[in-house]
Amino acid sequence: MEKNMQADLSKKDEQFREFSLNGPTWRVVLYVGFPLALYESLNQLFKILDTMMASHIGASAVSAVAYLSQINMMISAVGTGLAVGASIKVSQAYGAGDFMLVKKRVSTMFAMCGALGIAILLVLVPFTPEFLRLMNTPEEFIADGSTYFRLELFGMVITFFNNVYIAIERARGNSKRILILNTAVIVVKLGLTAWFVYGLGGGINMISCATIISQSLLLLAACINMNQKGNAFGFSLRAISIKKEVICPMLTLSFPVIVERIAFAVGKVIVNSMSTVYGSWTVGALGISNNIGGITTNPQNGFQEGGSSIISQNLGAGRPKRALLAFRWVLYIDMLIGLVIMTASLLCLNQLAGLFAGDNAEFAEMIKQIYRFEAVGAIPLGVNAAVMALLYGFGKTCVTLVMNFCRVFLFRVPVLWALQQFTDLGNVSAGIVMAVSNVASGVLAAVVGVIEIRRICNTYDVRYFGGERKN
């Protein structure tokens, strides 16, 4: 069967591979990372505008959407973790020139996402209220949000496939295609949401329906673009494989990423749950603050994702020195993004808070109070994103698991507990926790980065600064 399969590269894929492995490193990082940064920014804009439209429905609606989105993040972490971990091995095989292995891993990734999506729907859709209570969701959110959550689950399964597709396009250097398609999805999504909410007077369920429709359009585009039987990045049923040499390396890297992202999302749910002692508005304000903070962190994450692909490709091609140079450029760019966008968001904070809170001055002040603390971590999180790119690129997903576990369960949950037990700061505690965890995460990332760079240099016999060592 394998003999009858083709796994060739298109001319465009061949050109990108040559550019990624031999072009100026800074240009490669910008070429791949900039469209992804815009893509992530658009995703964040998508979330922000969704929340703004929900605020038109009412403060309880915006709080319910903000709270339930954290639970959605926990579940979707399984799919995104699988895509991230598996795409690392796809990038490495691409860089190494093993195009048949690329095809097998691409096709197997899609099959695994399909099985995962079906399992999630079968388990959670019939028992949504029970699951939300298990997550300590306020009853008022369960009453208003159970149908919304079910609809979001269907949208999430579609997104699983889309995330795999995006990961594949990222690995082959098609960042611009990702940006173009995502822009189209956002335009459709926002147009439908505006029509449903403002035109038809619908509730939060209509917001979710708009998500499903728009994500389905992206899935359709993915199916068309992946229908390339002879291409290494095309999907083929015959290429699906459960052989250990195909699936085990992907699962070995994916499992820590899945655990890492679930743990991070669970931690956010715990923090939200603990914050309910200050009232449901505080939960909503914290969610909105996180959305505003995403204006900074999402572009950083775009360069993180693009950087990890470049690093993986060059590592697969036997060029660890060049992989380290790519990391250096990701670090510079992510720190600059943190500085610029943090400054801009603080200068425009009154306007941003007003967009979410409307005429509710108390709610607006609560948002501003929390975000001022969260903004402190913009530059440290840039360091964290760059180090994550390095670690993902070199397949050190167990280290990223430990780092993100510390971020939530060492720097965030215990700190909030201590503030609640030993101070009377009230809802400002939610903001202080974000500042502590983000800054501490950046410091930890810097320490881990130095240690791992030394290990990489010793393992591959290269110098981080200067030329390669001579044996």
Is pLDDT of 337 > 80? yes
- How confident is the model at residue 393, as a pLDDT? 93
| Residues 241-300 pLDDT 10s | 888 888 888 888 888 988 888 888 788 778 877 877 877 678 778 878 888 888 888 899
Mean pLDDT along residues 369-390: 94
Is pLDDT of 344 > 70? yes
| Residues 195-207 pLDDT 10s | 887 878 777 778 7
Of the two residues 229 and 129, the one the predictor is more confident about is: 129
Of the two residues 51 and 387, the one the predictor is more confident about is: 387
> 412, 158, 5, 246: which is closest to 166 by C-alpha?
158
Distance between CA atoms of 342 and 330, rounded to whole angstroms? 18
Query: What letters, b where the CB count within 10 A reaches 16 and e where it falls short, cover 102-130?
Result: bbbbbbbbbbbbeebbeebeeebeeebee
Residues 6+ apart with CB under 8 A from 339: 378, 379
Mean pLDDT of the chain: 85
Report residue 470's pLDDT band, with 50, 70 and 90 as the boundaries: very low
State the amino acid at position 90 in one-letter form: V
pTM (two decimals): 0.84
Distance between CA atoms of 189 and 186, rounded to whole angstroms? 5
- How confident is the model at residue 76, as a pLDDT? 81
- How confident is the model at residue 467, as a pLDDT? 44
Is pLDDT of 159 > 80? yes
Over pLDDT 90: what percentage of the chain? 29
Is pLDDT of 319 > 80? yes
- How confident is the model at residue 57, as a pLDDT? 65
Name the 3-class secondary structure at 22: helix
Is pLDDT of 466 > 60? no
- How confident is the model at residue 469, as a pLDDT? 44
Of the two residues 471 and 188, the one the predictor is more confident about is: 188
Sort 19 into a burial class: Cβ within 10 Å, 0-12 / 13-18 / 19+: middle
- How confident is the model at residue 274, as a pLDDT? 83
Domain extent listing, the chain: 2-460
Distance between CA atoms of 284 and 427, rounded to whole angstroms? 11
| Residues 5-53 pLDDT 10s | 666 777 888 888 889 899 999 999 999 999 989 888 877 777 677 666 7
* C-beta pairs of 202-205 under 8 Å, 24+ apart in sequence: 203/57, 203/61, 204/54, 204/57, 204/61, 204/64, 204/65, 204/144, 204/145, 204/148, 205/147, 205/148, 205/151
Report residue 56's pLDDT band, with 50, 70 and 90 as the boundaries: low
